Amino acid sequence: MVYSNILKNLHKHISLTQEEEEYFLSLLKYQEVSKKDVVLHQGEVCKHLYFVNSGLLRAFFTGQETKEATIMFAMEDWWITDMHCFLQQSAAMVSIQAVEASTLLKLSKHDLDSLYSTVPAFERFFRILMQNAYVREQVRVLENLSLPAEVRYTNFMKKYPQIVQQVTQKQIASYLGITPEFLSAIRATKRL
């Protein structure tokens, strides 16, 4: 059933009573998206936190001159949103798009808040989620500041081998902060 993945995800960190579980599930909305569908457009208010039930999403920023920067990938079993703008219910800094056909479960800010007050275990659950997200970003900042592009690419492949198979090199390049041409050159040297 549609909820088995998200329940398994919850149970990694917290356990719930039958009622609590049902209340949580009642707040979720289910959404199917096709490849390339945009679930959040940069500039529009970010209303939901998304759980990726299946498929793969990508958050990216588009600046002047259409240079895209990929902020994050979210594969099956990950959570994704523009966290800043979701929390403030303000205009999104990034767009979120389906890399491939995906199924999502989404939660509004309002419903998340009532979840916190009704079922305190969710404070713990999201504390751990935020903690992991913070650690990931902190390590990413460290790598971006201290490692050359080639090593960052190697690390990325080690960390997310599945993602490498599913996304274009253009997208990987924009995640690493380099151009697709330069990524191509890096790959060419590794092939020798």
Q: How far is the CB of 166 from DNA (least distance, A)?
A: 10
48 beta partners: 108
When the beta carbons of 43 and 177 are compared against its own copies, the nearer one is: 177
- Selected range binding its own copies among 2-10, 64-72, 103-111, 164-172, rule: CB under 8 A: 64-72
Question: Considering the rule CB under 8 A, would residue 116 count as an interface residue with its own copies?
Answer: yes
Q: How far is the CB of 83 from its own copies (least distance, A)?
A: 5
Q: How far is the CB of 4 from its own copies (least distance, A)?
A: 25
The contact mask relative to its own copies for 160-179 (x = CB under 8 A, - = no) is --------------x--x--
Question: How far apart, in whole angstroms, are the C-alpha atoms of residue 119 and residue 80?
Answer: 21
Question: How far apart, in whole angstroms, are the C-alpha atoms of residue 10 and residue 126?
Answer: 10
Binder of residue 95, out of its own copies, DNA, none (CB less than 5 to 8 A by kind): none
How many helices (H) and strands (E) the chain has is answered by 9, 6
Question: Considering the rule CB under 8 A, would residue 140 count as an interface residue with its own copies?
Answer: yes
| Member of 1, 4, 15, 145 binding its own copies (CB under 8 A) | 145
Angle at 68 between CA 64 and CA 72, to 5 degrees: 135
Count of CA atoms in the C-beta half-sphere (13 A) of 90: 6
| Member of 94, 115, 119, 183 binding its own copies (CB under 8 A) | 94
40 beta partners: 96
Helices 180-191 and 149-159 meet at what angle, rounded to 10? 80
Question: Considering the rule CB under 8 A, would residue 30 count as an interface residue with its own copies?
Answer: no
Q: Look-up: residue for tokens 């460290």? A: 142
Question: How far apart, in whole angstroms, are the C-alpha atoms of residue 53 and residue 118?
Answer: 24
User: What distances in angstroms separate CA 183 from CA 112, 130, 153, 187, one per listed residue?
Assistant: 40, 31, 8, 6
| Member of 61, 78, 160, 182 binding its own copies (CB under 8 A) | 61
When the beta carbons of 93 and 101 are compared against its own copies, the nearer one is: 93
When the beta carbons of 41 and 103 are compared against its own copies, the nearer one is: 41
| Member of 2, 135, 157, 185 binding its own copies (CB under 8 A) | 135
